[in-house]
Amino acid sequence: MSLPLTIEEAQAALRSGNVTSVELTDAALARIEALDERVGAFLEVNANARAQAEQADAELAAGTDRGPLHGIPFGLKDILATADQPTTANSLVLDPAWGAGYDSVVTERAREAGAVIMGKLVLSEFAIGAPDAEKPFPLPRNPWDLDRSASGSSSGTGIAVATGMVLGGIGTDTGGSVRGPASFNGHTGLKVTFGRVPKWGVTPLGYTLDSIGPMARSAWDCAAILNVIAGHDPRDATAATAPAEDYLDGIDRGIEGLRIGVPRAYFFDHPELEAGTKAAVEATIEKLATLGATVREVELPHSDVAKEANTLTMLSEALAYHRPDMGGARWSDYGSSTRMTIGRAALFSAADYVQAQRFRNWYATTAAQLMAEVDVLVVPTSPGIAPLSSEMADPARRIRQPSYTGPFNLLGYPALAIPAGFSEERLPYSAQIVGAPFAEALLLRVGHAYQQVTDWHRRVPPIVEESAT
């Protein structure tokens, strides 16, 4: 039997009786058994996954329908508290009592929607450190090429979605941690407006930057997930009070008359931008134009400085959280990349942080003026294809390369990463669609329109096909 590839297809098949949640879950468990040792997506598989699926089937048969996620295999980044599984943040440092016995807001909402929680997924330590082979955690590997990076920090969710171990999952994004894995692993990922999804029950990285977002194959799937997780919760002081929308309502309306802005400076002319990536994103813009959008060049000046301001803000706020452990006896318990990355912030001054926030205010004003003239921006998600994992260990790489995701964390804007083609090495390209605050429905509509006339998001890594033979 050919199983559904997307949440959209699976939820329809469940309701037509063509598949059961148990069948979907058994297939996901078989995929985990066949591949996870090689790709390192899961920290812990949920022993109750099949029982959850049986319950979902019973509820659907009895006429109880909790929505599109009901009975769908689903994964959670191991930075979200779960009452039935430990939370480690992929670190030896996090107190085992943290998150014990309760669910994060997002976990609660996923359970209430009837999702089958398959388990806790690998991440970069505390959502920032690169994988460390000396620590007792799985090493995430790109399923398109096991020698290459799966990006971070939501690497496990990206791998699990790309390989079909789950049909959807949750990531967090402070500087690109939903969109980077979506880019390298070849699926769709949405960084939401700051505060759109409550963060209570999630270990922090950057207090003023963190967001939680959906990761799945398609824009439709991400919209279905966002319908479940978006909306205010009083336990999160930073949660937006603006009402959430039905993100599936109107997703099929198309993009006739949409105004696309293309900021060339920095995003398209940086010397580290690979030619193949640039060409793929240009082709994406052209495809959107054929669907009725109008395109014009715009300016978002000093986005190179925005990258640095986002990094300085993120690391300073991370150090504020980690300083009691990092400055004490736990230094060596952190992975080498994590401690050196966060530890850099000890070299920043209070004046540096203040200056970053002053720039942030200026950049936000400039961006708001720009977004009054266009509906969305389209830029690359990453400057190139997934690099070799050995190259990611180079500390100069992050400094040298542009970040096409971090500036939008600094702004708090929503941004959707969508597959945009493949390189000669058969590695995914990705384009990023950016909107004004709370424009998630528009971004998802644009992504959905593009995915109706392309099939990049439906491509499956060869390792999956090999495991099935």
Q: What is the pLDDT of residues 415-444, one digit of tens each?
A: 999 999 999 999 999 999 999 999 999 999
Contact 196, 245 (CB under 8 A): no
pLDDT at 327 (0 to 100): 87
Q: What is the pTM of this model?
A: 0.98
Q: What is the pLDDT of residues 94-109, one digit of tens each?
A: 999 999 999 999 999 9
- pLDDT above 80 (res 393): no
pLDDT at 294 (0 to 100): 98
- Enumerate the H helices of 69-148 as residue ranges: 105-112
pLDDT at 469 (0 to 100): 63
Residue 38 sits at φ, ψ, to 5 deg, of -90, -35
Q: What is the pLDDT of residues 185-216, one digit of tens each?
A: 999 999 999 999 999 999 999 999 999 999 99
Domains contained in the chain, CATH given: 7-468 (3.90.1300.10)
- 17: tokens are 């009786």
pLDDT at 395 (0 to 100): 67
Q: Could you give the 3-state DSSP secondary structure of residue 156?
A: helix
DSSP class of residue 365 equals: H
Sheet order of strands, 376-380 included = 42-45, 116-121, 73-77, 168-173, 211-216, 188-191, 415-422, 428-435, 376-380, 259-263, 294-298
Set 91, 151, 153, 154: catalytic member:
153
Cα–Cα distance measured from residue 110 to residue 101, given in angstroms and rounded to the nearest whole number: 16
Set 91, 104, 149, 177: catalytic member:
177
Cα–Cα distance measured from residue 183 to residue 384, given in angstroms and rounded to the nearest whole number: 9
153 tagged catalytic? yes
Q: What is the pLDDT of residues 321-357, one digit of tens each?
A: 999 999 888 999 999 999 999 999 999 999 999 999 9
Q: What is the pLDDT of residues 279-322, one digit of tens each?
A: 999 999 999 999 999 999 999 999 999 999 999 999 999 999 99
Tell me the average pLDDT of the chain: 97
Cα–Cα distance measured from residue 455 to residue 421, given in angstroms and rounded to the nearest whole number: 9
pLDDT at 380 (0 to 100): 98
278 tagged catalytic? no
Set 77, 191, 199, 307: catalytic member:
77
Q: What is the pLDDT of residues 143-200, one digit of tens each?
A: 999 999 999 999 999 999 999 999 999 999 999 999 999 999 999 999 999 999 999 9
Contact 114, 91 (CB under 8 A): no
Percentage of residues of the chain with pLDDT beyond 90 = 95
- pLDDT above 80 (res 391): yes
153 preceded by cis ω (within 30°)?
Answer: yes
Q: What is the pLDDT of residues 276-285, one digit of tens each?
A: 999 999 999 9
- pLDDT above 70 (res 466): yes
Strand partners, 7: none
